Amino acid sequence: MTAAAPARQVFRLPDLGEGLTEAEIVEWKVAAGDTVEIDQIVVEVETAKAAVEVPVPYAGTVLVLHAEAGTVLDVGAPLIEVGPADATGATGATPGRDVHPAADRYREEEQAGSGNVLIGYGTDPATDPGRRRRSAPRPAEAAPVPAAPGHAPRVISPLVRRIAAEHGLDLAAVTPTGPRGVILRRDVEQAIAQETAPPAPAAAEPATLTTERIPLRGLRRAVADKLSRSRREIPDATTWVDVDATGLLAAKDALRRAHPGLGIGLLALLARICVDGLRRFPELNSSVDTDRAEIVRYGHVNLGFAAQTDRGLVVPVVRDAHLMTTAQLAAELARLTGLARSGSLPPQALTGGTFTLNNYGVFGVDGSTPIINHPEAALLGIGRIIDRPWVTGGAVTPRKVTQLSLAFDHRVCDGGAAGGFLRHVADLVEDPTILLANV
């Protein structure tokens, strides 16, 4: 009796929560032929909220990876296929394809440090800025030229490898454009086109700028959607004021000297000032429910703050900021900033804000007309703090001056409340000891 064919289990992209419908493959942690265990991390994906590591619910041998890095998959699309641990190319693998010998070859090439690595990564090309494209001689047989030791190219797709081999292209000379420095098919095709193109005339005109199309997806698309919705739905207004921040900087320095272990910085002090302002002017700690024609005024402050990362601008949320001391705010701001910069923020840390603080002064700019973080009703922006002439006691003296900008939803309040909040914040920036009087 002929034995039944081993079971093949297809794991599909799971629902990652928060209403997300798709994710982009960032990096595979396994290759065809690898043995995996239940709940082993097999792939890192990027959603509109954050980077997420996805575990596989099956144990066995990896038969197929259904998408290359850089591919956007819908929730429910095939992600990875796993067979029995003793599966071979003749049973359970794609017909005509022997999984294990190929996987063994990949590992041998990795250990030898050759340029023939299909799966697995060598040195990141980004760490070698001196590398440039160069033409590779066409060998008699279509085999790729080995890369320099320690500089194995990052290639995931066998198709990309085959195209390069057919054209005698040295993958070590190809500039990658994929996520994490992965060489994509378009990179190989562009390198081939450059090799086969006729040389430019000696007196050629200077090269013009090249039009580039960048897919709007992942975090960037989520940001674009939210900002577009804010501009479309919120009738916002902006008001601003210049303030003398000399007292605020002095308070920060005094706290650092007296309590160096607390790590209280400028952002934590500004956060504490915002919370105090929202207690006095709760109109700005709200949102508009258009379906029910209601203003929702919150009894808690979930303070969002803008953080620039390698993935773009994200807004982590400090929950229940109104219950925290300045030291606790500093600790939570530091924790969330670290997670944001490492790409480890969970999706829930990016939702539920009631007010946002944006310190764009770190970019060396004075002012801005910030876009409100929908569905919130207001956002406070802080410009750079620089020496400027300032009148104090009838005399012009140099002081540390900054500009505060408040963008607010005109549906939730009029200029009186917005101006009152901004003036209160400005007063606390100029004289932080007022906070002590209000305790």
Q: Give the active site residue among 66, 151, 300, 410.
A: 410
Q: What are the φ and ψ backbone dihedral angles of 333, each rounded to 5 degrees?
A: -60, -45
Check pLDDT > 50 for residue 101: no
Check pLDDT > 60 for residue 420: yes
Other CB atoms within a 10 A radius of the CB of residue 428 amount to: 23
Q: Are 307 and 316 in contact (CB under 8 A)?
A: yes
Q: Please give the pLDDT value at position 376.
A: 96
Check pLDDT > 90 for residue 428: yes
Q: What are the φ and ψ backbone dihedral angles of 410, each rounded to 5 degrees?
A: -70, -10
Query: What count of residues does the chain have?
Result: 439
Q: Is residue 130 part of a domain?
A: yes
% the chain with pLDDT above 90: 49
Same domain, 161 and 253: no
Q: Is residue 204 part of a domain?
A: no
Same domain, 300 and 161: no
Same domain, 327 and 269: yes
CA 218 distance to own-chain centroid? 9
pTM score, whole prediction: 0.59
CA angle 53, 54, 57 (to 5 degrees): 150
Reading the block at residue 179, the tokens are 């996520």
Of 268, 234, 182, residue with least CA distance to 369: 234
Other CB atoms within a 10 A radius of the CB of residue 387 amount to: 10
Same domain, 224 and 369: yes
Q: Are 188 and 174 in contact (CB under 8 A)?
A: yes
Q: What is the DSSP letter of 283?
A: G
Of 194, 195, 135, 198, residue with least CA distance to 170: 135
Q: Distances in Å between the alpha carbon of 232 and those of 226, 236, 297, 408?
A: 10, 10, 22, 14
Return the SS3 of 305: strand
Q: Is residue 212 part of a domain?
A: no
Give me the residues paired with residue 91 across strands. 88
Q: Which of 34-43, 219-228, 322-331, 336-345 has the highest mean pLDDT?
A: 322-331
Q: Please give the pLDDT value at position 116.
A: 32
How many domains does the chain contain in total? 2
Domain edge (last residue) among 161, 196, 231: 196
Of 13, 124, 53, residue with least CA distance to 343: 53
Concerning whether 167 is annotated as a catalytic residue, the answer is no
Same domain, 273 and 311: yes
Same domain, 117 and 47: yes
Q: Is residue 31 part of a domain?
A: yes
Check pLDDT > 60 for residue 138: no
- The overall average pLDDT reported for the chain is 81
Same domain, 266 and 169: no
Rounded Cα distance between 359 and 429, Å, is 14
Q: Distances in Å between the alpha carbon of 262 and those of 166, 255, 332, 340?
A: 61, 8, 11, 21
Give me the residues paired with residue 286 across strands. 297
Q: What is the CATH number of the domain that holds 77?
A: 2.40.50.100
Domain edge (last residue) among 134, 165, 196: 196
Same domain, 240 and 341: yes
Check pLDDT > 80 for residue 28: yes
Q: Is residue 230 part of a domain?
A: yes
Same domain, 264 and 402: yes
- Helix boundaries (H) for 87-184: 99-112, 158-166
Residue reference for tokens 């850089």: 70
Q: Please give the pLDDT value at position 156.
A: 60
Rounded Cα distance between 9 and 12, Å, is 10
Torsion sign over Cα 416, 417, 421, 424 = positive
Which of 164-168, 286-290, 376-380 has the least mean pLDDT?
Answer: 164-168
Torsion of CA 107, 109, 115, 121, to 10 degrees: 20
Reading the block at residue 144, the tokens are 């790729």
Range of the domain at 123: 9-196
Q: What is the DSSP letter of 433?
A: H
Same domain, 317 and 192: no
Q: Is residue 231 part of a domain?
A: yes
Q: Is residue 262 part of a domain?
A: yes
Q: Is residue 186 part of a domain?
A: yes
Same domain, 160 and 72: yes
Same domain, 161 and 255: no
Average pLDDT over residues 91-111: 39
Check pLDDT > 90 for residue 249: yes
Residue type, 90: A
How far is the first Cα of the chain from the last one, in angstroms, to the nearest whole number? 84
- Tens of pLDDT, residues 205-243: 666 778 888 888 777 787 788 889 999 999 999 999 999
Of 271, 260, 248, 279, residue with least CA distance to 336: 271
- Helix boundaries (H) for 145-291: 158-166, 185-196, 218-233, 246-258, 266-280
Q: What is the CATH number of the domain that holds 284?
A: 3.30.559.10
